Amino acid sequence: MTDAAPALPTITHAPRRRWPWLAVAAKLLAVPQAAFGVVVIAVIVFCALLAPWITPYDPQAMDFKRMMAGISADHLLGSDRMGRDTLSRLIVGTQTALIVSLGAVGIGVLVGAPLGLISVYFRGWTDDVVMRFMDALVVFPSLLVAVGLAAVMGSSIGTVILAIGIANVPWMARIVRSQGLAVREQDFIASAEAGGLSRLRIMARHILPNTVAPLIVQATLSMGYAVLTEAALGFIGVGVQPPTPTWGNMLQQAFPLLQQQPLLSIVPGVAIFLMVLAFNFVGDALRDVLDPRLKGVIH
């Protein structure tokens, strides 16, 4: 009688997470500053999406009996020199702030990320040409680009998005390049090349996914910069033009009245401050959550 064969050990696999971003979101919300930022951004998105239904007045409606009125039951944040409700104009201004920030960062990512990938993979003279071109773009601030574009195309929301987007391209390209250079030297890239994968598939399937985390962080931080730049462009008169209410042109119109009615400057100023602060808080927390090694590296 022969002994029974020993039973083979059972191999158990760790359960694969189906929703890894839920873990990232939980870690993000565990950071108090990030939770504050998420709440502020959520409120702004809510206001932007529901602006036509939640504004107490038409933002263009003038009430000459209540010009430059202070806080009251009728006008919770007062009214401007034409009697227009400040709260209604502030809520409608969230739409421009979000559209500009999303559009400008979208241009930066869609143009900058492919340029960074090309620079990483081909290297040599291609890398030199792409990076020197990015260095040349950095020299021109978005304010100067916007003034030039406004002279050619006219002041509009499209001009503002394009100007800020162009300024974002070099930073996105640099982030992808810096992360991609480390990935490019890994063994799995050499294996993919030996396996006959095309350069395009290697860049799309292996290099780009390993640069997504820092790219998301930089994009979040850049959205705060885009909000601030849009407000600056509106303040100097080359951004979105009245009568469309934006936080920047609200500041511009309120500046001469700073001593008579400071509330008109405080309201949009606080809104800009909170939105920029929220994006910075979320971006800093994302940097630490997605890749702690990037702490203090991305600016």
Q: Give the model confidence (pLDDT) of 58-73 as tens digits.
A: 998 888 888 888 888 8
Percent of the chain clearing pLDDT 70 (strictly above): 89
pLDDT at 295 over 60: no
Which of the pair, 214 or 270, is modelled with greater confidence?
270
Mean local confidence (pLDDT), 194-216: 77
Please state which of the ranges 150-154, 240-244, 278-282, 292-296 shows the lowest mean pLDDT.
292-296
pLDDT at 8 over 60: no
For the chain, domain boundaries: 32-52+76-294
Backbone angles phi, psi at 79, to 5 degrees: -140, 160
Residues 272 and 195 sit within 8 Å (Cβ to Cβ): no
How many helices (DSSP H) and strands (DSSP E) are in the chain? 12, 0
Which of the pair, 161 or 243, is modelled with greater confidence?
161
Backbone angles phi, psi at 15, to 5 degrees: -60, 135
Cβ-count burial 25-48 (b if 16+ within 10 Å, e if not): eeebeebeebeebbebbeebeebb
Class of domain 32-52+76-294: mainly alpha
Residue indicated by tokens 């009728």: 74
Beta-carbon contacts of 1 under 8 Å, excluding residues fewer than 6 positions away, are none
How far are the Cα atoms of 102, 117, 176, 211 from residue 131, in angstroms, in the given order?
25, 11, 12, 17
At 293 the pLDDT is: 54
Total Cβ atoms within 10 A of residue 146: 26
Q: How far apart are CA 66 and CA 68, in angstroms?
A: 6
Please state which of the ranges 3-7, 113-117, 172-176, 208-212 shows the lowest mean pLDDT.
3-7
At 20 the pLDDT is: 67
Range of 37-51, 206-220, 274-288 with top mean pLDDT: 37-51
Beta-carbon contacts of 202 under 8 Å, excluding residues fewer than 6 positions away, are 121, 189, 192, 193
Beta-carbon contacts of 243 under 8 Å, excluding residues fewer than 6 positions away, are 60
The pLDDT mean for the chain works out to: 83
How far are the Cα atoms of 75, 146, 148, 240, 242 from residue 236, in angstroms, in the given order?
27, 11, 14, 11, 13
User: What's the pTM?
Assistant: 0.83
Residues 146 and 107 sit within 8 Å (Cβ to Cβ): no
At 297 the pLDDT is: 44
pLDDT at 194 over 80: no
Q: How far apart are CA 105 and CA 148, in angstroms?
A: 20
Mean local confidence (pLDDT), 260-282: 92
Mean local confidence (pLDDT), 22-36: 85
